[in-house]
Amino acid sequence: MLESLGSLTGSPWIYAVVALSVLLDVFLPVLPSGVLVITAATAAAAGTTTASTVAGQVPREVPSLLILILCAATASVLGDLVAYRLARRGGDRFDRAIARSRRLTRAQDRLGTALSRGGGALVVIARFAPAGRSVVSLGAGASQRKVKEFLPWSAVAGLVWAGYSVSLGYFGGQWLGATWVGAAVSVLALFGAGALAAYVMRRRHTPRPAASTAERV
């Protein structure tokens, strides 16, 4: 896998491809932006390993981890902001589209409550959940939340997600080798974080049954 992507991960174009993928997956959650970030970070681990094992030899081109994190995080925030703006200015037509989706309606209500209380952990958790970023960004805009309430948490979410994804790829490549095995384990860890985030979101926002009269007495 890494060999087939070597020409891309060894080129500065990898940053543009990663940024574009992360930017667009708020609208197309099927895009493998996380897999791409992990693959680029694994390639960086491969270059570091080569440099340490072959004396005096410097890899031709490997992605910079810092630039990779900054590209992914910045693109994540920009994508969130575009989705937020489109939903905020969508008018009645967009509101009707939101109303037809129970998932978006519930997310809009939950997010509005969380942000109004000064807490945006939901934004960070949702960044890892499948399609959670899309639901939260669109919900924030549709509910007319102020940008100052949403954007800082979006920045934190983007940075945490980018740092986690790059760390998975890099350390997976260091510990398991820069092969498809290391990349696959890293991708599974990313999917595991997404499944956990989805579970936490469901648990946090599942209505609790009302206490019975006997319990209240």
- DSSP per residue over 38-77, as a string? HHHHHHHHHHHHHHHHSTT---S----HHHHHHHHHHHHH
The total of structural domains in the chain comes to 1
**What's the pLDDT score for residue 212?**
45
**What's the pLDDT score for residue 53?**
44
**What's the pLDDT score for residue 93?**
64
**What's the pLDDT score for residue 117?**
55
pLDDT along the chain (217 residues), means of 10: 54 86 88 86 70 46 85 95 87 63 62 59 84 82 82 93 91 74 78 80 54 42
In a domain, 211, yes or no: no
| Distance (Å, whole) CA 204 – CA 63 | 38
What is the domain range of residue 31?
A: 6-204
| Distance (Å, whole) CA 101 – CA 114 | 20
Nearest Cα to Cα of residue 138 among 98, 186, 197, 178:
98
**What's the pLDDT score for residue 165?**
92
In a domain, 146, yes or no: yes
Q: Which contacts of 87-93 are long-range, i.e. CB under 8 A and separated by 24 or more positions?
A: 87/137, 87/138, 87/139, 87/140, 87/141, 87/142, 88/141, 88/142, 88/144, 89/141, 90/141, 90/142
In a domain, 180, yes or no: yes
**What's the pLDDT score for residue 110?**
61
In a domain, 209, yes or no: no
User: Is this prediction's pTM over 0.85?
Assistant: no
In a domain, 81, yes or no: yes
In a domain, 217, yes or no: no
Confirm if 134 and 170 have CB atoms less than 8 A apart. no
Distances (CA, A) of 112 to 3, 47, 57, 69, 86: 46, 45, 54, 29, 17
In a domain, 49, yes or no: yes
In a domain, 216, yes or no: no
Nearest Cα to Cα of residue 39 among 124, 166, 140, 203:
166
Confirm if 98 and 136 have CB atoms less than 8 A apart. no
